[in-house]
Structures are given as structure tokens and as C-alpha cells.
Structure 1
Amino acid sequence: MTWAPPDGAGRAVLPLGLGAPWVLVRAPAGIHHWMVCHSTEPMIRAPGGASAWLLDAAALAGWERRYEMLLPHIRLVTSGTAVVPGAGCTRGPGLHWVRPRGLPPEQWVADVLCLADDLATACVVRGWPLGPLPP
């Protein structure tokens, strides 16, 4: 799904949950630095260091088990709302986007499989145990 945040320094509130087009993946500050250096996906950085990624709920369907092995290190947020920064928010200290070099300017939603692989690698690098691999 193609989506873009509002221009400038504004914010958008996106619905999460049953029938909503979005899922949010949240990860603790401990893997932020690895993800900034190595991930290929657009990331939302929150004050305090937590990171989040916006996923297309339809693209995630069928791949949820790929994320199960990352629990309890990450959390799939599937209810409520997500506040995302505007496209012009690319530096902290507040809520802002971290966009890898070479990322197409129209890509604001993370690729489901690439993000799962990046997060799994980041957890291993940190020494965090992964759950059982999905069948």
C-alpha cells in the first residue's frame, strides 16, 4: 500500500485494529543503533529511543508467525491508534522519521519480510534469544 505522511512538521493519527489498513511494530531502544546502520526500512523514532515501523496490515496477513519468534523483544500493535510524524520531521529530539539512504522517496511503509529479517538479526546481534522458528 502506498501512503505518505503529511508534509512538513505535522503529525497524522492512523487507526490500528480490525479492518484498519495499518499495524505498528514497536521495538525497544536497545536495537535502534543497529537498525539505523543496517536496516533498509523507514523507521519512526520516538523520544526515549523506542522505534516503530508502519506495516500494511494486508501485507502482514499470513506472515504474523515470522514476527512471533521476535517476541517479547518487539510488539505488534494491532489496536488503537498510531501517531506518526510528518514527512519533514527527520531529526529529533521529538517524534521523527529515520530514513535509510537510497530509500525511494515514496516509501514510508516498511516491507513486512525485510523488516522481520532485520529485526531478527538485530536481536541476535544484541544477544537476545529468539523464540522457535515458525514452521
Structure 2
Amino acid sequence: MAQQKYTDQQMLDALRTAADGLETPLSAKAYDALRPAGAPSGLTINKRFGGWNASLQAAGLPTNQASGHKAHRSDADLASWVARYLADPETTGSYGGYATWSKNHPDAPSAHTIRYRFRTWSAAVEVATRTEVR
């Protein structure tokens, strides 16, 4: 397993430094423009904390309000959607299959959201197979 280059504390400190003096919540794009020299990228922070707003929240900073986006979903909710997909006899069980299936289910999270949260499609499937379909 690769050793982490930055600690959580270093990442949170970089967020706080970039946000210092801003009147609006820090966006990932703004962070990358303002980040201190040698600090981790916004993408690295985003991945570590499971999303940009989760990163801001962990740093004690104001979060960006979702405009038209679904509310933050729990791992259990995401796994439940994967379990529903896997239980559908007309699906392939693949990431691409889920991406197509989710477009026909308006409340379903995107395939990208699933894979991003669980790091891999295989990990999402593993969690989903232990999850009760709601």
C-alpha cells in the first residue's frame, strides 16, 4: 500500500490557509488557484475526505450549498442503490451497466458517485452484497 504524502492535518491546514479572508465558501477551483506552495491538490483532498464539502466540513469551513444536486448520501444509501441494481435480473452487474441503469432511475446516484465513494466498482459491489435492498 502506498504511503500517504500528506497527513489529514496538513490537508485541512492547507484548506484553511486558502480560505482565509474569503467571503464565500472555498471552491475546489479557487483552492487550486490559492493553495500554498507544496500543498496537496484539490483533487487529492477531495479523494481523501470523500468529497469537497466533506473536506470543507472537516476543516471547519463553510460548505458550498448544493444547487440542484441531491443531498449528501451515506455509504449505506449508496450501497443500497448498488444492491438494487444487482438484484435487477435484467442488469449485467458491471459499472457500465449501472451507469446506464441509474439514468433510468431518477433518484439513483451516478455511477461516478458510487465508484468515487467506494474507490472501485468491486468494492461497491462487495459492500452492496452485504446490504439489504430497500
Instruction: State TM-score, norm by structure 2.
Output: 0.24
Which has the larger strand fraction? 1
Q: Which has the higher contact order (CA 8 A, sep 6+)?
A: 1
Larger radius of gyration: 2
Instruction: State TM-score, norm by structure 1.
Output: 0.24
Which has the larger helix fraction? 2
